[in-house]
Amino acid sequence: MEAIRLKCRDCCAGQVKEIRECPIRECSLWEYRLGRRPTPEDSQAVRNVRMHEGK
Ligand code: SF4
């Protein structure tokens, strides 16, 4: 989780608000970007994106 947090921080130039509001649901780290276990809503959002993309 710490490595993911650091990666997201780097990706968003250290802007915590940007990490929270990240719109890139295709990113494999998206569900974990908040440093906690994904909520059922987060997991469903990712499944919806992947289903839409045929992955
Ligand atoms: S989840 Fe968002 S902020 Fe984190 S690495 Fe992926 S694109 Fe960047």
Give the torsion sign (CA, 43, 44, 49, 51): positive
pLDDT for 19: 96
**Amino acid present at 32:** Y
pLDDT for 33: 93
7 class by beta-carbon count within 10 Å (0-12 exposed, 13-18 middle, 19+ buried): middle
**Is 2's pLDDT higher than 70?**
yes
Residue 30 CB–ligand 1 contact under 6 Å: yes
Alpha carbon 10 to chain centroid, angstroms: 13
Give the torsion sign (CA, 53, 48, 28, 13): positive
Distance CA 46, CA 55 (A): 11
Going from the Cα of 9 to the center of ligand 1, the distance in angstroms, rounded, reads: 8
pLDDT for 55: 62
Residue 6 CB–ligand 1 contact under 6 Å: no
Q: What's the pTM value of the predicted model, to 2 decimals?
A: 0.79
Dump pLDDT digits (tens) for 3-53.
Answer: 999 999 999 999 999 999 999 999 999 999 998 888 899 889 888 888 887
